[in-house]
Amino acid sequence: MSISNITPKIIELTKRKLLSNPNHPLSILRSKMYSFVHKTYPGVFITKDDYDPVVGVRENFDNLLIAPDHPSRRPSDTYYIDENTVLRTHTTAHDCEMLKNHNAFLMTGDVYRRDEIDSTHYPAFHQLEGGRVWNKSEFSFAAQEKAHDFALTELKGMLEGLARECFGDVEMRWYDNYFPFVDPGLELEIRWKDNWMEVLGCGVYHPQVLRNAGKSDDFFGLAFGIGLERWAMKVFDIPDIRLFWSEDQRFLSQFSATKGITKFKSFSKFPLCYKDISFWVPEKFEENDFFELVREVGGDLVERVEKTDKFSKGDKTSYCFRVNYRSMERNLTNEEIDELQFRLREKAVADLKITLR
Ligand code: PHE
C-alpha cells in the first residue's frame, strides 16, 4: 500500500490540539482525573501529554501483539500515512516507550479511527492512558499468579476510585474482555441513567509487551485506557461528540478550569434535514470509506448516517443510507443541503465506483 487514506479533514483535526486549551471540557476532565491519581498515589505517576499522534505500525500494533491480520489494522479502520506509519488508534501505542523510562505513567492524546457517523462517533477522539509496573523483587510473591492478583486488585481499586471521582456513587461491574496486549483483559461498566455503559478497557500487561518495552521478566504490571469524550459527555451533559470540536463561543465560554465540571446548557437545537442516497454496491466496498466521504463533503454538518435499507437482486446488492444534516450553530437552507447531497452523490460515484439507483 502506497497511498495514504488520510483526508484533508483529518489533517485539520490533527492540528486542533484540543487538550492544549486548559478551559476545554476534555482538559478539565483530565485535570480532575490526574489530580485524583496524584492525590491517591502521591509521587508515583509521571504524566506526559505531548506525544505526536503519528506513530509506527510497530508501536501501534506489533509491540502490542496485535496480529498481522487483525481487523483493526485494515486501512478501512486505520489511517495510514504510509505502509509503516499510522495515526495512532489508541494511546497504548506509547506504553512501551513510556515503560522504558518510567514505572508508572499517565498520558493523554488524540487518537484516530475510521468509523461510522452518529452522536458518539467521530474519527478523532481522546484517550487517557495509564500504566504501572512493579519489580517482583520488591515483593515476596511465591508464585506468578500472586503478582497477577496483586496487579488486578490494584487496577480495580484505582479505576473504581477514578470512576467514582468522576461519576459519583454509581453501580459498577467488571467484565472480561480480550485485548492482545494484556492478560487478563477487563472492561468496567457503570450504571448511568438506567443503562450500563462501558467506560474503560484495562488489564495486566502481557509479559511479551513488557519485554518489548525492554523490561526484564522480573516486572509485572497493569494498564488501562479511557475514552475521554465518553466520560465527558456524561459528566458535562454534552449531547453530541461534534461539540468538542466546536469553535462556537456559546459552547466554549461555558467551561473554565477554575469552575471545574459544570453542566452544559444546550443552545437551541436547529432543525434536522435528511436526504437518502441509494446505490448498487460495487464488489469492493467498505462502509467506512463511504462515511469518510460523507464527512469530506458535509463536515460537521452531518449528525448521523444510518443504513435504512438493504436488498439483493441476483448477484447485486443495494444499500440506502440516510444522511442526517444539522448544524449546531445555525439554520441550514434547503439549497445548501441539496448542494451537499449533490456533491456527495457525484463524489461517491467517482471515488467509490458505486452505481446510483
Ligand atoms: N487501547 C485499548 C483501546 O483503545 C484500551 C486498553 C488500554 C485496554 C490498556 C487494555 C489496556 O480500546
Ligand 1: residue whose CA is nearest its atom 12: 201
Do 333 and 278 fall into the same domain?
yes
- Is the pLDDT at 135 greater than 90, yes or no? yes
CB 212 within 8 A of CB 131: no
Q: Does residue 263 lie in a domain region? A: no
Mean pLDDT of 196-223: 97
- Is the pLDDT at 268 greater than 90, yes or no? no
- Is the pLDDT at 267 greater than 90, yes or no? no
Do 106 and 61 fall into the same domain?
yes
- For 23, the grid coordinates are 478551559
Q: Residue 337: helix, strand or coil by DSSP?
A: helix
The residue to mutate among 92, 125, 176, having the most atoms of ligand 1 within 8 angstroms of its beta carbon, is: 92
Ligand 1 closest atom vs CA 226? 5
Mean pLDDT of 319-348: 96
Ligand 1 closest atom vs CA 92? 1
How much of the chain, in percent, has pLDDT values that exceed 90?
94
pLDDT band at 140 (very low <50, low <70, confident <90, very high): confident
- For 227, the grid coordinates are 475514552
Do 208 and 279 fall into the same domain?
no
Examine the fold and report which residue of 196, 222, 252 is the final residue of a domain before the chain moves on. Answer: 252
Count CB atoms within 10 A of the CB of residue 88.
Answer: 24
- Tell me what ipTM this predicted complex has: 0.99
- What's the pLDDT score for residue 143? 60
Do 193 and 336 fall into the same domain?
no
Do 202 and 299 fall into the same domain?
no
CB 260 within 8 A of CB 140: no
Say how many Å lie between the first and final Cα of the chain, rounded.
32
Closest to 302 in 3D by CA, of 111, 169, 121:
121
Do 226 and 150 fall into the same domain?
yes
The residue to mutate among 90, 175, 200, having the most atoms of ligand 1 within 8 angstroms of its beta carbon, is: 90
Do 153 and 209 fall into the same domain?
yes
Dump the DSSP string for 73-104.
GSTTTS-EEETTEEE-SSGGGGHHHHHHH-SE
CATH number of the domain encompassing residue 334: 3.30.70.380
What is this structure's pTM? Answer: 0.94
Q: Ligand 1 mean position to 339 CA, how many Å?
A: 41
Beta strands in the chain (DSSP E): 46-48, 54-56, 80-82, 85-87, 104-112, 124-135, 172-176, 182-192, 195-205, 219-227, 273-280, 302-313, 316-325, 355-356
Q: Ligand 1 mean position to 8 CA, how many Å?
A: 27
Do 66 and 102 fall into the same domain?
yes
Q: Ligand 1 mean position to 322 CA, how many Å?
A: 32
- Is the pLDDT at 2 greater than 60, yes or no? no
Ligand 1 proximal residues by C-beta, below 6 Å: 90, 92, 179, 182, 185, 201-203, 223-225
| Domain range enclosing 337 | 273-356
Do 91 and 212 fall into the same domain?
yes
Q: Does residue 138 lie in a domain region? A: yes
Do 245 and 299 fall into the same domain?
no
- Is the pLDDT at 356 greater than 70, yes or no? yes
- For 286, the grid coordinates are 467498505
The dihedrals phi and psi of 244, each to the nearest 5 degrees, come to -60, -25
Distance from C-alpha of 198 to C-alpha of 190, rounded to nearest angstrom: 7
- Is the pLDDT at 82 greater than 60, yes or no? yes
Mean pLDDT of 229-254: 97
- Is the pLDDT at 58 greater than 70, yes or no? yes
Closest to 14 in 3D by CA, of 289, 294, 295, 245:
245
Q: Ligand 1 mean position to 250 CA, how many Å?
A: 34
- Is the pLDDT at 114 greater than 80, yes or no? yes
Q: Ligand 1 mean position to 184 CA, how many Å?
A: 12
Do 183 and 283 fall into the same domain?
no
Q: Ligand 1 mean position to 137 CA, how many Å?
A: 27
Distance from C-alpha of 123 to C-alpha of 111, rounded to nearest angstrom: 8
CB 294 within 8 A of CB 306: no
Ligand 1: residue whose CA is nearest its atom 2: 225
Q: Ligand 1 mean position to 179 CA, how many Å?
A: 7
Q: Ligand 1 mean position to 92 CA, how many Å?
A: 6
Q: What's the mean per-residue pLDDT of the chain?
A: 95
The residue to mutate among 132, 158, 179, having the most atoms of ligand 1 within 8 angstroms of its beta carbon, is: 179
CATH number of the domain encompassing residue 64: 3.30.930.10
Ligand 1: residue whose CA is nearest its atom 10: 202
Ligand 1 closest atom vs CA 111? 4
Q: Does residue 115 lie in a domain region? A: yes
Closest to 111 in 3D by CA, of 95, 100, 122:
122
Ligand 1 closest atom vs CA 227? 4
- Is the pLDDT at 138 greater than 90, yes or no? no
- What's the pLDDT score for residue 1? 47
Dump the DSSP string for 190-236.
EEETTEEEEEEEEEEEPHHHHHHTT--TTEEEEEEEEEHHHHHHHHT
Mean pLDDT of 246-275: 95
Q: Does residue 166 lie in a domain region? A: yes
Q: Does residue 198 lie in a domain region? A: yes
Do 97 and 207 fall into the same domain?
yes
Query: Which H or E run includes 1?
Result: none
**How many domains, in total, are found in the chain?**
2
- Is the pLDDT at 225 greater than 80, yes or no? yes
Examine the fold and report which residue of 252, 281, 300 is the final residue of a domain before the chain moves on. Answer: 252
- What's the pLDDT score for residue 142? 60
- Is the pLDDT at 146 greater than 90, yes or no? no
Ligand 1 closest atom vs CA 201? 8
Q: Ligand 1 mean position to 162 CA, how many Å?
A: 16
Q: Ligand 1 mean position to 198 CA, how many Å?
A: 12
Closest to 60 in 3D by CA, of 142, 228, 180:
180
Ligand 1 closest atom vs CA 95? 9
Count CB atoms within 10 A of the CB of residue 123.
Answer: 20
Each residue's pLDDT tens digit, 172-194: 999 999 999 999 999 999 999 99
Query: Which H or E run includes 285?
Result: none
Distance from C-alpha of 266 to C-alpha of 272, rounded to nearest angstrom: 16
